[in-house]
Amino acid sequence: MTERAAAARQLERVAHSIHRRGLTHGRTGNVAVRVGGQILVTPTGVSLDAVSADALSVIGLAGDHLAGPRPTKEAPLHAAMLRARPGDQAVVHTHSLHSAAVSCLADLDDEEPLPPLTAYYAMRVGRMRALPYVAPGDPAGAATVEEAAHATHALLLRNHGPIVSGRDVDAALDALEEIEHTAQVFLSLRGLPMRPLTPSESAALSAPTPSTPRKAS
């Protein structure tokens, strides 16, 4: 199997997994995988459970449509993330319920939209940042993602949802699921005193990098 065919299969598997686990609704959510100098990305208007390895869009790193069906309207965000993070090969974006809810909080802390409540959040996500609200399709969205992604692989788009890159598509999905779980814990604790991990407890856990082996559950 060629590298491109293997990447397409992985993308299809993860897209179906996101849908099966209820991590996004309707025809929202999209996945991208870098292959060489190109990006395979989910097409527009296709529910993630219907994504096929044989019918993916191909775009360039600039976000230009090269082949296959028309890409998701959010493809420029994926391309921006991959331009900023040459060590990462995949991007996952959803409108997951609890993450989307946190993204709508008026008192969101842009520098730390979720506290490190659990060890797995610290290991798989590390530092997340929130980005200002941008209307769908506004080119400013890709520009802000690209700028912020130099510093972190996990971004929370205000009034929208998370976008996360990883060294492969499984690592990106692991991080996205951890964000969604932590968002649910965080919202469950609203109004109660919270005890996040201390800076030294967080520092003792590995933040994700392209070369860090994934921790077993």
Residues taking part in catalysis: 74, 120
Q: Are 29 and 23 in contact (CB under 8 A)?
A: yes
Q: Are 138 and 73 in contact (CB under 8 A)?
A: no
Closest CA to 79 of 92, 62, 58: 62
Q: How many CB atoms neighbour CB 30 within 10 A?
A: 28
Tokens 């967080």: give the residue: 202
Distance of CA 150 to the CA centre of its chain: 14
Q: Are 140 and 146 in contact (CB under 8 A)?
A: no
Tokens 């991590």: give the residue: 23
Indicate the SS3 state at residue 137: coil
The strands making up 154-157's β-sheet, listed across from edge to edge, are 65-67, 57-60, 38-41, 30-35, 90-93, 161-166, 154-157, 128-131
